[in-house]
Chain A
Amino acid sequence: EAAVTQSPRSKVAVTGGKVTLSCHQTNNHDYMYWYRQDTGHGLRLIHYSYVADSTEKGDIPDGYKASRPSQENFSLILELASLSQTAVYFCASSDQGDTQYFGPGTRLLVL
């Protein structure tokens, strides 16, 4: 079974502060993704990566950066956190064009 872990599982951040969310997968998948979910809504793609040291913009990249230092690790960085970035963030991994496996999510509250 696919294994995607995220840390932290929850975080409270202050407006204007820097936040880093981490994701680790042990599936040997090339593709990794970061999504955000707002209460009562579906997921929206922020950034994704198909190879280490390279990232691509998704549908809503503004205010976020991503880093893929290795095949196993993918980080999401909020340089200047804002109230509107309060959400649940999910990481996922997949083989090329295949089923996506999701991590447990990180609840981020920006105050």
Chain B
Amino acid sequence: GDKVKQSPSALSLQEGTNSALRCNFSIAATTVQWFLQNPRGSLMNLFYLVPGTKENGRLKSAFDSKESYSTLHIRDAQLEDSGTYFCAAEASSGSWQLIFGSGTQLTVMP
């Protein structure tokens, strides 16, 4: 089965609303990274997380290693937030290898 499972697989939002994306891990993740792939295909790093939370503008992310999940909250969604969001987990300390989820395709509508 999937070692990193993302939900939902697709999501549509009205501009100005809030949403949460989730990743569940079936591996012992030590760190988590969140990326946004824009419609042109470029990947941008949003967060690098050890267990805990981080916030950047309208984005907030949390990683709970004991419960094996991570979340990404988007507040006041804007059109430019559209794209595919990926989470990726480092499988074991020191490996530096990331295991990616299949992504959440987000569409923000005016």
Q: Is A50 close to B, CB under 8 A?
A: yes
Q: Mark B38-52, 1 if CB is under 8 A from A, else 0.
A: 000111110010000
Closest to A88 in B: B41
Bound Cα distance from A94 to B41, whole angstroms: 20
> What's the least CB distance linking A88 to chain B, in Å?
7
Q: CB < 8 Å: which of A94, A98, A102 contacts B43? A: A102
Q: Which residues of B contact A100 (CB under 8 A)?
A: 33, 45, 98
A-B contact count (CB 8 A): 52
Name the distance in Å between B1's Cβ and chain A's nearest Cβ.
14
The reply to whether the CB of B97 lies closer than 8 angstroms to some CB of chain A is yes
Report yes or no: B96 in contact with A96, Cβ–Cβ below 8 A: yes
Q: Which residues of B contact A59 (CB under 8 A)?
A: 97, 99
In the bound complex, residues from chain A placing their C-beta under 8 Å from that of B88 are: 42-43
Can you name 17 A-B residue pairings with CB atoms under 8 Å? A31-B96, A42-B4, A42-B101, A42-B102, A43-B86, A43-B98, A43-B100, A48-B96, A88-B41, A94-B96, A97-B94, A99-B33, A99-B48, A100-B98, A102-B42, A102-B43, A104-B41
Question: Other CB < 8 Å A-B pairs besides A41-B103, A100-B98, 16 of them?
Answer: A31-B96, A35-B100, A41-B102, A42-B100, A42-B103, A43-B88, A88-B41, A96-B96, A97-B94, A97-B96, A99-B33, A99-B48, A100-B45, A102-B42, A102-B44, A105-B41
Closest 4 A/B residue pairs (Cβ): A42-B100, A102-B43, A99-B48, A43-B100
